[in-house]
Amino acid sequence: EDKVVQSPLSLVVHEGDTVTLNCSYEVTNFRSLLWYKQEKKAPTFLFMLTSSGIEKKSGRLSSILDKKELFSILNITATQTGDSAIYLCAVDCPTSGTYKYIFGTGTRLKVLA
């Protein structure tokens, strides 16, 4: 059974701290891994990773994929209160040519001022 596991489930840090969120997966047909940030309603897209070892970066956020060990990490440096959100990891693992996304349960991050 395809699955995506995120850790930790929740995290509380202070402004300025650096956090690392983990996403591991076991799927039969990996195509890409995606990170989303969900604040109040709909998730917003952060990164899509398809190749191992290539870091994607956007401001204070960065992410990297390890296809050998089947995991990805999302780093946030110099955290701010606006980073407080649920971070979702999803794996695109199509079956028989159709689309299929498996989501993790998310990591709830709270950044204290």
Give the range of 13-21, 52-60, 64-72, 101-109 binding other proteins by CB under 8 A: 101-109
In terms of DSSP bridges, do strands 10-14 and 107-112 run parallel, antiparallel, or are they unpaired? parallel
Q: Is 92 in the site for other proteins (CB under 8 A)?
A: yes
Question: How many residues of this chain interact with other proteins, rule: CB under 8 A?
Answer: 24
Question: Contact, 24 vs 105, CB < 8 A?
Answer: no
Burial of 100 (0-12, 13-18, 19+ CB in 10 A): middle
Tokens of 49: 């990773």
Report the first-to-last Cα separation within the chain, whole angstroms.
41
Binding mask 16-55 for other proteins (x = CB under 8 A): ---------------xx-x-x----xxxxx--x-x-----
Residues of the shown chain interacting with other proteins in the complex, contacts defined by CB under 8 A = 4, 6, 31-32, 34, 36, 41-45, 48, 50, 88, 90, 92, 98-101, 103-106
